[in-house]
Structure 1
Amino acid sequence: MSQFTVSGRFQGRDGWQSFSRSVEAVNESVAREHTFADFGSKHGLKRTQVEISEVAE
């Protein structure tokens, strides 16, 4: 498994907020899915409320 840095922005109460997270995943696609799932479960956001701009290894 590789370590990926996922960055982008999400829609919060005060507008759009930037984020950067470190995710351990098999490839970039799985890292994106883990990020969407994490924001959905912890913050109650839908996929349309999260914009991923970059996934770097």
Structure 2
Amino acid sequence: LTEGDGQQLGLWDADESWRDAEDTIDAVTARFGRGMLRPASLLKVDVPRGDAQNAHRIDYEPPA
């Protein structure tokens, strides 16, 4: 063991860069609505532009 500054890191410690990201997410959500920001892994590959609002719906079928 070595001497340290006595600060313990936690899983949920506030970090300035995370605060910036959260502020940006809040601003985008306030301007465009809750459904506009989603994790990229939830978007379907074949979602045409303009249909992103409905891409999160389970019953969504892209236009043919």
- TM-score, structure 1 length as denominator? 0.34
Q: Which has the higher contact order (CA 8 A, sep 6+)?
A: 1
TM-score by structure 2 length?
Answer: 0.31
Asked which structure has the greater CA Rg, the reply is 2
